Structure 1
Amino acid sequence: MQGIRTFFIAASSIAVLALAALFTASLTVALVGTLAVLSLARMFSARLKPAPIPVNPKHRKPQNMRVWNDGRGTIIDL
């Protein structure tokens, strides 16, 4: 009777450890899959960005920039 009880306790503990290892492995696979999908999405979204629009159009005249020192520091007036 003692041998059968020991066998069942050992078998159930091995089964619990196997389930814990399977759960950990499945979480690892899910995390790696999520990271792979996110990195692919980031790579493709970087390719799909539109061309930047220039801030200063070419037909506009450059503005006069005034620079002076008032004794406390240099002032740059754009």
Structure 2
Amino acid sequence: MQNIRAILLTIAGVALVGLTFVFAASLTVAFTGILALVMIGRAISLRLKPAHVHARTTKGREQEQMRIWNDGRGTIIDL
């Protein structure tokens, strides 16, 4: 009777260790997936840049063109 009880406790212990491993692995996969989605979203959002707006003067300087651009540190206006 004690042999049967020992065998059942061993099987229950192995099953508990297996369930713990499966739970930890599923959490790892879930966190890895969430992290991957966040990193992909950030990479895509960094690639999107605003379109350049070309400004022109209308007061007697039709031959010259004012250039405006943003170098990442601030807007530059070239008269």
Determine if the TM-score, normalized by the shorter chain, exceeds 0.5.
yes
- Where on the TM-score scale, by shorter chain, does this alignment land: which range? 0.5 to 0.7
Q: CA deviation at 1:56?
A: 4.0
Q: SS in structure 1 opposite 2:78? A: coil
TM-score (norm 1): 0.66
Q: Work out which of the two has the higher radius of gyration on C-alpha atoms and give 1 or 2.
A: 1
Q: CA deviation at 1:58?
A: 2.4
CA RMSD, aligned part only? 1.7
**Across the two proteins, how many residue pairs are aligned to each other?**
59
TM-score (norm 2): 0.65
Describe how 1:2-17 pairs up with structure 2 within 5 A: 2-17=2-17
Q: CA deviation at 1:57?
A: 2.3
Which structure 2 segments of 5+ residues have no match? 53-68
Q: Which residue of 2 aligns with 1:57?
A: 77
Q: Which residue of 1 aligns with 2:64?
A: none
Task: Provide the rounded CA distance (Å) in 1 between the counterparts of 2:7 and 2:34.
Answer: 40
Q: CA deviation at 1:51?
A: 4.9
Identity value in percent: 39
Which structure 1 segments of 5+ residues have no match? 60-78
| One-letter amino acid matched to 1:58 | D
Q: Which residue of 2 aligns with 1:76?
A: none
